[in-house]
Structure 1
Amino acid sequence: MAIWFLIWALITALSAFTLKLALGIISGTRNRNRAVGFFHPYTNDGGGGERVLWCAVKAIQEEIPDLDCVVYTGDHDASPQSLTARAVDRFGVKLLYPPKVVHLYKRKWIEETTYPHFTMIGQSLGSVYLSWEALCKFTPIYYFDTSGYAFTYPLARMFGCKVVCYTHYPTISLDMISRVRERSSMYNNDALIAQSIWLSRCKIIYYTIFSWMYGFAGSCAHLAMVNSSWTESHIEKIWKISHRTKRVYPPCDTSGLQVLPLERPSKNPIIISVAQFRPEKAHTLQLEAFSVALKKLDADLPRPKLQFVGSCRNKSDEERLQNLKNKAIELEVDGDVEFYKNLMYRDLVRLLAGAVAGIHSMTDEHFGISVVEYMAAGAIPIAHNSAGPKMDIVLEEDGQQTGFLACSVEEYADAILKIIRKPETERLQMAAAARRRAGRFSEQRFYEDFKAAIRPILSK
């Protein structure tokens, strides 16, 4: 029902737009403001995407100080001052001056709860409706999407904007289509569909049509920055604008974390997990692997602790966190597991400073900022054997192993045990190599590559 209403609303909006265009109301450069409008409806999600937002704002402010930076947000309590303070408190990013704020009131149209079925197409069409509200309220010269809403790009171009995006993760990838074709059950492919040949074929058709629409929308970007080799390969295949696609690794606070001592307390070694409490982060797998590792633990070894650190965006995330706590009780490891929600950045650094290992379990994680943070802080990473961690991050440095890659519960459990069993000298050697590797993804490197990518667009 929501999707049909949305389609009707978009047709109505497009008709109104066409009329305004014919009258010359929004055509021409005279009605566009000399500003960069950052389309980021959730400015309180606390994830890597929000860090990119604030670093991108800072980079623009440094590159062209007299160019206004405006943030489109659906968080109604957000103000220039609160967002500036949040950038510092949560991410350690000091903006040169507060950004302007444009509040959006139609954010429900991009929330997954609005679309129990056909969520992907619903949210994509909803983003167009939301960007219509944004661009009608404030039309900048440069429209910058930092949240992955590619369907908004054609509309932004119709408003006369130069469209720039930073894509963390393709809305649909060739891997997703392959999983449906292979009938693999996953968080984005319901078991009921995976078990049915007919439903799987219908979903393949749906994904194929959506992939074409996504490719057309994405191709409207004047500049597409991507955060990893994996994302780059998918975007180039779907959007087909390789000449306008630039790989810019996301900003990781390696400098602030690299000053932490590599030595860690030997009693109760800490394994940390830093990720938003979202389904794709696969926290349950981590918990089950930790439980298996405890059962296999040698009697003479210290008993480890597992610390979950993450943010909750909404009620669904809160419920997911509670379910995780219940699962810990069910597995009888609740005494060895700690949960930290919506921490300040300085508190996260304190926890990273005490961890011997960091665990990550998202399949096809586009990049994996948390994995880099583990490595920079001196915590040996145990990451999922796919996409960003596999292709860009957990690679050898000067011939030295920098961490572990795993897929199954058993593989994660074995990696945990290998780290706990390592002699201190060997652990320090691996941690030092991982820290050197993390230096390739520094915040300073992001600023350099980001500015180099946007200069040709901003100079036009």
Structure 2
Amino acid sequence: MALISIAILVVLGLTATAILLPKLIGILLGLVFRGVGWIIWQRTRSRHGYVIARARSEEEELRATQRKASTASLSRNGAEDEDWEKVESSGPGRIQNVNSSENNGSPSGESGRDADDWDGIIGFFHPFCNAGGGGERVLWEAVRATQTRWPKAICAIYTGDHEVNKATMLERVEHRFNIHLHAPNVVLLYLTTRKYVLSSSYPYMTLLGQSLGSLVVAYDAFTLLVPDVFVDTMGYAFTLALCKWLFPTVPVGAYVHYPTISTDMLASLDDKSGVQGINSGAGKGWKGKLKRRYWQLFAKLYGWVGRQVDVVMCNSSWTAAHIRTLWGAINKSSSSSGDGSPSSPAVVFPPTAVTELQSSIAVDAESEKTRQPVILYIAQFRPEKNHPLVLRSLRDFCKNEPATQPTLADHLHAYPDETHIYNLRLLAHELRIRDQTTFLCDASWPAVLSHLSTASVGVNAMWNEHFGICVVEYQAAGLICVTHDSGGPREDIVVDLGDGATGFRAETEEQFAASFEAALALPEAEKVAMRQRARRSAQRFTEEEFSRKWLEQVQKLVRMSKV
């Protein structure tokens, strides 16, 4: 009996150890992280105050400059402008708050004064903020919306673009995106560790390497400044979890452009068609089994990290569905209500220059006469954009329509892959469409506008494109879209809203070629009708819609920071 009792006690002891030890380790690690966070906060507290004081000083200097300019202008213009004082200027140094207590539509019922009074620091983690792509448009539009809602708040951007100062950066933002920001309340904090998130640094296990590398960069960011609210706008979810571990009282938010890993990526390992991304069919053999297991384990880690985030926004229904699956609470049913939690992320479509395009480009029977048989592809020259699929489908199509002029444009891509571009030109030569194909590298916005106004068809061939800003630009400009039948274009953009088709979807090169032919063969009246339907559809993706939905979610983080 004694031996049995001892055995029972040993089993109970081992069971208790197995249950309690992980919890104890978790508690100890939590205390360690909080201790490190407290040290970082103590060291950077004075910088927090300095950043605020510097912003207020720049604000006063700007106002003084504006007052002098106004006085000088009044002296020149004479008494005819004696009523000028009755009009409050909203010039380049001033942001009007469009979300007053009458019209802000705030779900919380906060008054405009309460919203305006928040004067904390929102940290935006975006190490490549000078890249000039769609993700950067989201960042700067988010900064503009934040400044409009909370004029006293300071937007601190963590960036690795050391070659650009604030004045040059804001000038580029205005030139590239037509977004004007209030300079005193924008602060650039320069990271020295950005190299740790470059994919080129990790030839193997790239996903894990970049994710762990982002922790190094995030630590670098926090040693520069601990913000009152921390938002990642590039997709580095691990940085948000680190912020929560170090500073539990700092609210964190994520704007997810693309899940780091998805169930579609896992499924692509077994794809036999070869069209599901660059890892299509890579699940064969022992290397394929290792890759599958590695991705499965990483997906679990990614899901655990994502559940630490307070507010989650996704750029499309496709992205939200994957995040809901990966980040949703374990053993709980995921909701699709879109309340901004990890289990139910809010869909906030990225801002697109819809208003500018619609005001610049006419779509009617008269403008149809100026459209040329040009097929336009606006995309960064990267492997996942699948330019070879477009070129091969154009080879098939151009056999019957030799007059068609395909144009492949890369719009202000800051880091072009010259080798990849060379290989695409070589492929066009091998397919015997070199003379009909135009490559535009680092195309300016005026050049893109020119092509959008004269082209007839817009194409996007990326498998599982997370959203597809270029597709929305096609629609707003009146092009007939031919997109890959997957991801954001299928779920949100090239959809029938009840009054007819807004474009074509395809998967294979044969289907793309057939869609090009069908689009260009439409009767003129139907072409105009489809262009106009697509243009109406694009109204769902304006800057105003993005700002409204962005503020609905960020307002939750601001409330948390107040508490």
Contact in 1 for aligned 2:125/2:233 (Cα 8 Å): yes
Looking at structure 2, the residues matched to 324 and 44 of structure 1 have their Cα atoms a distance apart, in angstroms, of 26
Cα deviations by residue, 1:332-357 (Å, 9 ceiling, x for unpaired): 21221112222232332222111111
How many residue pairs are counted as aligned between the two chains? 439
1:255 positional shift: 0.8
Residue 314 of structure 2 aligns to which amino acid in structure 1?
Answer: V
Which of 362, 368, 377 is the matching residue for 1:261?
Answer: 362
- Tell me the alpha carbon deviations over residues 133-154 of structure 1, each in whole angstroms, 9 at most, x when there is no partner: 1111121111111100011112
Query: Residue 378 of structure 1: CA displacement?
Result: 0.4
Deviates more, 1:346-355 or 1:46-55: 346-355
- The residue type paired with residue 311 of structure 2 is L
Could you say if the C-alpha distance between residues 159 and 267 of structure 1 is closer, same or farther in structure 2, counting changes exceeding 3 Å?
A: closer
Partner amino acid, structure 2, of 1:176: M
Letter matched to residue 60 of structure 1 = T
Residue ranges of structure 1 left out of the alignment (5+ in a row): 1-13
Question: Is the 1:127–1:152 Cα contact (8 Å) retained in structure 2?
Answer: yes
Query: SS of the residue aligned with 1:165?
Result: strand
Counterpart for residue 414 of structure 1: 514
Aligned match of 1:437? 537
Counterparts of 1:300-315 in structure 2 under 5 Å?
303-310=403-410, 311-314=412-415
Contact 2:485 2:507 in 1 (8 A): yes
The CA deviation string for residues 236-259 of structure 1, in whole angstroms up to 9 with x for no partner, is 111116551211111111111112
User: What is the TM-score when the length of structure 1 is the normalising length?
Assistant: 0.90
2:239 pairs with 1:152: yes
1:2-401 equivalence runs, <5 A: 18=32, 21=35, 24-27=38-41, 31=45, 33=48, 34-97=120-183, 99-160=186-247, 161-181=250-270, 187-189=277-279, 193-196=282-285, 198-240=286-328, 243=339, 244=341, 245-259=345-359, 260-262=361-363, 263-265=367-369, 268-297=372-401, 303-310=403-410, 311-314=412-415, 317-401=417-501
Which of structures 1 and 2 has the bigger CA Rg? 2
| 3-state secondary structure, aligned to 1:52 | helix
Distance 1:114 1:183 in 2: 30
CA–CA separation in structure 2 for the residues paired with 1:423 and 1:21? 70
Return the letter of the residue paired with 1:194. Answer: G
CA change 1:417–1:128 in 2 (3 A) is same
The one-letter code matched in structure 1 to 2:155 is C
Q: How far apart are 1:109 and its partner, in Å? A: 1.0
Which deviates the most, 207-216 or 179-188?
Answer: 179-188
Q: Verify the 8 A CA contact 1:71 1:100 in the aligned structure 2.
A: yes
Percent identity between matched residues is 35
How far apart are residue 24 of structure 1 and its match? 3.9
Q: Give SS of 2:131's match.
A: coil
Q: In structure 2, list runs of 5 or more residues that go unmatched.
A: 1-27, 49-119, 330-334
- Give 1:417 deviation, angstroms: 1.1
Q: For residues 199 and 43 of structure 1, what CA distance do their matches in structure 2 show?
A: 36
Is this contact kept in 1: 2:34–2:246, CA < 8 A? no
Instruction: Give the Cα separation in 2 of the matches to 1:187 and 1:367.
Output: 16
Q: Which moved more, 1:368-377 or 1:177-186?
A: 177-186
Matches of 2:158 and 2:482 in 1, distance apart?
36
Once residues 102 and 247 of structure 1 are traced to their aligned partners in structure 2, the CA distance between those partners, rounded to angstroms, is: 29
Are the equivalent residues in 2 in contact too, given 1:38–1:72 (CA < 8 A)?
Answer: yes
Q: CA deviation at 1:187?
A: 4.6
1:85-127 deviation line (CA, Å, top 9, x unaligned): 1212212222233621111121111111111111111111111
Q: Post-superposition shift, 1:179?
A: 1.9
Give the partner amino acid of 1:295.
K
Matched AA of 1:163 = V
Separation (CA, whole Å) in 2 of partners of 1:370 and 1:110: 26
Shift of 1:293: 0.6
For normalisation by structure 2, the TM-score amounts to: 0.74
The one-character-per-residue Cα deviations of 1:67-95 (angstroms, maximum 9, x if unpaired) are 11111111111221122112122122222
Structure number with the bigger relative contact order (C-alpha 8 A, sep ≥ 6) is 1
- Work out whether 1:403 is the aligned partner of 2:503: yes
Distance in 1 between residues matched to 2:536 and 2:559, nearest whole Å: 35
Root-mean-square deviation (CA, aligned residues, Å) is: 2.4
Q: Which string of whole-angstrom CA distances, capped at 9 and with x for unpartnered residues, describes residues 265-306 of structure 1? A: 567422111111111110111111111110122xxxx71211
1:429-452 CA-partner distances (Å, limit 9, x unpaired) = 110001011111111111111111
Helix, strand or coil at the partner of 1:358: strand
> Could you tell me how far apart the structure 1 residues matched to 2:403 and 2:42 are?
67
Alpha carbons of 1:159 and 1:184: their partners in 2 closer, same or farther (altered >3 Å)? farther
Task: Evaluate the alpha carbon distance shift between residue 183 and residue 303 of structure 1 in structure 2; reply closer, same or farther with a 3 A threshold.
Answer: closer
Q: Shift of residue 210 of structure 1? A: 0.3
Structure 1 residue 20: Cα displacement? 8.2
Distance change (3 Å), C-alpha of 1:30 and 1:195 = closer
Q: Contact (CA 8 Å) 2:37, 2:246: kept in 1 or not?
A: no
SS of structure 2 residue aligned to 1:117: coil
Report the Cα distance in structure 2 between the residues aligned to 1:377 and 1:281, rounded to whole angstroms: 21
